Each structure stands twice: as C-alpha cells, then as structure tokens.
Structure 1
Amino acid sequence: MRLAMRLNQRAFGALLGVSLPTVARWELGRAAVSPYGQKALDAQLRDTADDVIERFEGLLKETDAAITAHGSGKGRRV
C-alpha cells in the first residue's frame, strides 16, 4: 500500500500512527502487523482514492507473479 501511495516509510508510518522502524519490520517480514496496525491499514484502505487502489492491486499482482516465478510461498504484503 505504501508504494501505491507513493510515500516513504516515515510518511506512511506517520499516516498510520506507527513508527518508521515498525513499517520497515513489516516490510521485511520481521514483525507481524499488530491488531492496531491492521485496523489503521484497513481504515487507510477504505479512505484511499480509486487510482491508488488500482496501483495497489497492480503491485499485488506483480508481487504474486514474482513469488510464483521464484517458487516461494512466503509473500509479505503491507
């Protein structure tokens, strides 16, 4: 979602009310998204413009294709 919104990790974290290290850990797969983080992500997704949603869905498709091509079943989505 962060890439689709064209935000850096610091700005995305500020938007969600979490720290930059938290966003980095999510993206690296080093931490699971907490219930608070999931609620913030869900709320942001509901409030996101249609063009950003389209970019987000496109990025998810690209990620799924890359995971499939490399044979890894461990995809991380934030």
Structure 2
Amino acid sequence: MAKAADNRDLDVEATVEDPDAAAAMIAEVTASLAQLAQRHHLDMLDYLLRMAHLEAEEHLRLRSRHRLC
C-alpha cells in the first residue's frame, strides 16, 4: 500500500510546476477534504483542513498582490 501512495505522490509532484500551482492545488484539495470531514463530523480534521485551505489561499492572494506592484 505504501508503494502505491509513493507513486501517486510522484505523479502529483510531476504535474505541479511552481509554488503558486502547488498552492492552488492544495487550496482545491483541502476545501474538498474539509467538506468530507465536516459531513462525517470529523471536527478536528475539518478545522485543520480549513486552516490549510486558508493558508494556501492567502499565499495566492499575496502572490497576486506582489505581481500587481
């Protein structure tokens, strides 16, 4: 099982080209996972995933702000 997880990790890493793309993917995935955790009343996981989602969105917001300057 760990071997299959390692292969998936490599596939994801190969598709993400830069930190902004990684942050965008993390924002998307954590939002979906937070909804799943919430639906199943996994409160701490929901909280942590939402925090990760907010952190990824904040990274993207700050990067876009810097590009405008």
TM-score by length of 1: 0.37
The structure that has the greater radius of gyration is 2
Of Structure 1 and Structure 2, the greater helix share is in: 2
TM-score by length of 2: 0.41
